[in-house]
Amino acid sequence: MEDQRDRQNRIDRRSFLRIAGTSIGIGVLYEFAPFLERRAEASEMNGYFKKANGEAPASFTFAQFSDPHVGFQGPPDPLGTKAFESAVALLNKSPQQPDFVLFTGDLTHDADTRDAHAQRMQLFKKIAGGIRTRAIHTVPGENDAALDGGVLYREHFGESHYSFDHKGVHFVALDNVSQGSPQVGPAQLAWLKADLARFPKTAPIIVFTHRPLFDLKPEWEWFTRDGDAVMNTLAPYENVTVLYGHIHRHDVHQSGNVKHYAARSLIFAFNDPATNENKKQLPFDKDDPFKDLGIRLVTSKGPENNPADVGVNDIVLTKAEFAGLSGIQQMIKGNNSIGGSSSNDSD
């Protein structure tokens, strides 16, 4: 008799995880249609998730925001929380609200005293609390948690690593900063292994964390010391996406079955590691205050296509978004409508 897990494992990976997404400015809005209802294998997986957590798979949308660094004072950015607040306002204009929002670290900028840092965390919560969504999930960045082992962060936001299921997708929050050194650490790795063990190899999994889990640019601190161990743990799973922040710029990287997406920051951008020896914050441009804080639109080509064939629209914000003159629909439509200028990439 065929074991149920074996049957689940042979489900065609194209059945799942289509980053259909859409991204909204300043943050990233992903849309997932994890299962194709008409496929027989999909109904098996539907049954699995329904049995596992009582929630059947369904299409849904979520957003990713990253690195607002609440409390940061320029240079280069004299606008403080303006981009963060504009991103919240922009998302709230969307007729399709995301099921939840992920924040991938550096919610706050580090502060000299515990009290000052706590105030920044409160301000972050106040601004993020204005998002029209059902839930907000966060992971810490170095600025939030690396100096005190994550004590203050956990007081404000709860555990720094955890997992949850949502409509047929398993989400894993990894903390690769709060030990001071840039690592997940053996205890969290063991937890990750145990957490994933209940899933078939074909289950759609989204990992969100702060630092890249691969060597993007080690001399700029764009790596995780035990990133290889994390990736080895994820390697048996066929449908894994990693969302992260930290680098304050767009990046897409493929390693094995895993695709890694970096989100833009909500405070300032860093320069391009491919063409620069030293890491630098890009200078503030008063004529283009949200420069390099653009948006990404990721669009599924439809269920008949390979989910790896994903259309991506990156939109660079302009003065119109800064002044709140354009809405999210204008931005999603892109094509140089009011404000945003768009470009199409294929990932």
Partner 1 sequence: MILTKQLAVLGILGLTTGLFTYGAPAPARAAETAQVVKITASKFHFTPDRIVLAKDQPVTLQLTSADRTHGFMVRAFGIDTDIEPGKTTAITIRPEKIGTYTTICDHYCGLGHGGMKMTIVVQEASAKSSAAPVVSASNTVSK
| Shortest Cβ 65–partner 1 spacing (Å) | 22
20 C-beta neighbours (distance < 10 Å), count: 21
Q: Which two tokens stand for residue 116?
A: 């000052």
x-marked contacts with partner 1 along 270-309 as a string, rule CB under 8 A:
---------x------------------------------
| Shortest Cβ 278–partner 1 spacing (Å) | 9
Q: Which of residues 142-161 bind partner 1 (CB under 8 A)?
A: 142, 146-147
* 225 is a site residue for partner 1 (CB under 8 A): yes
Q: Which of residues 187-216 bind partner 1 (CB under 8 A)?
A: 215
Number of residues located near partner 1, criterion CB under 8 A = 15
| Segment near partner 1 (CB under 8 A); pick from 40-48, 173-181, 234-242, 309-317 | 173-181
- Distance set, CA 285 to CA 78, 235, 308, 319, 324 (Å): 10, 42, 36, 11, 18
| Segment near partner 1 (CB under 8 A); pick from 62-70, 131-139, 174-182, 198-206 | 174-182
Residue closer to partner 1 by CB (options 142, 238) is: 142
Residue closer to partner 1 by CB (options 155, 219) is: 219
Angle of helix 82-92 versus helix 114-128 axis, rounded to 10 = 20
Residue from 219, 272, 309, 347 touching partner 1 (CB under 8 A): that is: 219
Residue closer to partner 1 by CB (options 181, 336) is: 181
| Segment near partner 1 (CB under 8 A); pick from 83-91, 156-164, 175-183, 333-341 | 175-183
Buried b / exposed e across 139-152, counting CB within 10 Å, b at 16+? bbbbbbbbbeebeb
Q: Which of residues 83-112 bind partner 1 (CB under 8 A)?
A: 110, 112
* 165 is a site residue for partner 1 (CB under 8 A): no
CA pair distance 307, 13, nearest whole angstrom: 9
* 180 is a site residue for partner 1 (CB under 8 A): yes
Buried b / exposed e across 70-88, counting CB within 10 Å, b at 16+? bbbeeeebebbbebbbbbb
* 218 is a site residue for partner 1 (CB under 8 A): yes
Binding stretches for partner 1 (CB under 8 A): 110, 112, 142, 146-147, 177, 180-182, 215, 218-219, 221, 225, 279
